Amino acid sequence: MGLALLFWFLTRPDVLSLDDLPDHRPDRDNGEQVFYAGGCASCHESGLGGGLEMNSDFGSFRVPNISPDPVSGIGVWTTLEFVNAMMRGVAPDGSHYYPAFPYTSYTRMKVRDVMDLKAYIDSFEPVSHKVAEHELRFPWTWRRGIGLWKQRYFKQEPPSVNSSGNPLIARGQYLANGAGHCAECHTSRDEFGGLIISQWLAGGPNPEGEGRVPNITPHADGLGSWTIKDIAYYLESGFMPDYDTVGGSMVKVQENMARLPDSDREALAAYLKSIPARPDPGD
């Protein structure tokens, strides 16, 4: 009984309430910028109707429909429900989301930016498309258990970077670790799928299949030889310093980043050059 109670306590969803929402009139234009910084459409498809399958060691995750369709999408969600999904990983029915949805990064966003993002997503055409359930292996099928996972991994903080007096690095840090969720791919994960913070942005084997996810720290294994300008230009154009082109799943990410203001790409670049350099992790 005591254990069950403890388990219930540890796995209960932690959500924000209406009092936590600022008095803010959503700004759809800013929401559009947040949308591209986050690359929502890369996983949720361009019309936001979802359906993409993400394969992992835990099974196959199916990306949901987040278009404003009232039945198969999120058209009936309140702003608070949207904020709790993004920043707490909790669905409107109170269940936990799997961290394949990178709320572990989005929790670092400003509530205002999340509210603006909802306003922008609301402007999409509803797409009537019912996405099938995830197909996961036991015990990952059991959502309540994600509460325990969150206890261990949800509020992990990236290595601190000295951005005092440098608003550009601070902005880059906010974009990279919040909406941009760079670390969700560029940081290795442990056996439970939690990010290994000591290998922040140092890349590693590609969990979705062949090849490696590149190291994007300023180490020689990563972006050591790239200048801030090189990184910003890569995000704008897709061209690396040797004029090879962007490839794989980074293509969509880069094309989204290309729609941000120059200053935001420069900020991301400045942040990446300011984080601790780390070698490629051993496989």
Partner 1 sequence: MIRISLIITVLALMLPLPRLWAADSPQEERQELMEGVKDAAKPVGGMLKGEQEFDAAIAMKSFQTWSDAADVVGDLFPEGTESGYDTEAKETIWTDREGFNDQLAAFAKAVDAAIDANPQDLDALKAAAGPIFKACKGCHEGYRVEDEH
Q: Are 274 and 162 in contact (CB under 8 A)?
A: yes
Residue 130 vs 212, nearer CB to partner 1? 212
Give me the least distance between CB of 269 and partner 1, in Å please. 12
Q: Is 230 one of the binding residues for partner 1 (CB under 8 A)?
A: yes
- Contacts (CB under 8 A) with partner 1, residues 250-269: 250-251
Residue 158 vs 214, nearer CB to partner 1? 214
Per the omega criterion (within 30 degrees of 0), is the bond before 139 cis? yes
Distances (CA, A) of 242 to 36, 225, 233: 26, 11, 12
Residue 23 vs 244, nearer CB to partner 1? 244
Q: Is 245 one of the binding residues for partner 1 (CB under 8 A)?
A: yes
The torsion angles phi and psi of 85, rounded to 5 degrees, stand at -65, -50
Three-class SS state of 196:
coil
Judged by CB under 8 A, the stretch of 4-12, 104-112, 182-190, 231-239 that binds partner 1 is 231-239
Q: Which of 229, 262, 263, 279 binds partner 1 (CB under 8 A)?
A: 229
Q: Which of 233, 268, 272, 278 binds partner 1 (CB under 8 A)?
A: 233
Give me the least distance between CB of 243 and partner 1, in Å please. 4
Tokens of 147: 């509460």
Judged by CB under 8 A, the stretch of 12-20, 99-107, 226-234, 265-273 that binds partner 1 is 226-234
# chain residues binding partner 1, by CB under 8 A: 20
Q: Is 130 one of the binding residues for partner 1 (CB under 8 A)?
A: no
- Contacts (CB under 8 A) with partner 1, residues 191-220: 211-214
Angle subtended by helix axes 262-274 and 167-177, to nearest 10: 90
Write down the residue that tokens 């154009």 correspond to. Answer: 237
145: which DSSP letter?
G
The H or E element containing residue 56 is strand 53-56
User: What is the spatial distance between Cα 270 and Cα 232, in angstroms, rounded to a whole number?
Assistant: 9
Residue 114 vs 246, nearer CB to partner 1? 246
User: What is the spatial distance between Cα 61 and Cα 52, in angstroms, rounded to a whole number?
Assistant: 8
Q: Is 242 one of the binding residues for partner 1 (CB under 8 A)?
A: yes
* CA neighbours closer than 13 Å in the CB half-sphere of residue 191: 0
Residues that bind partner 1 (CB under 8 A): 211-214, 229-230, 233, 237-240, 242-248, 250-251
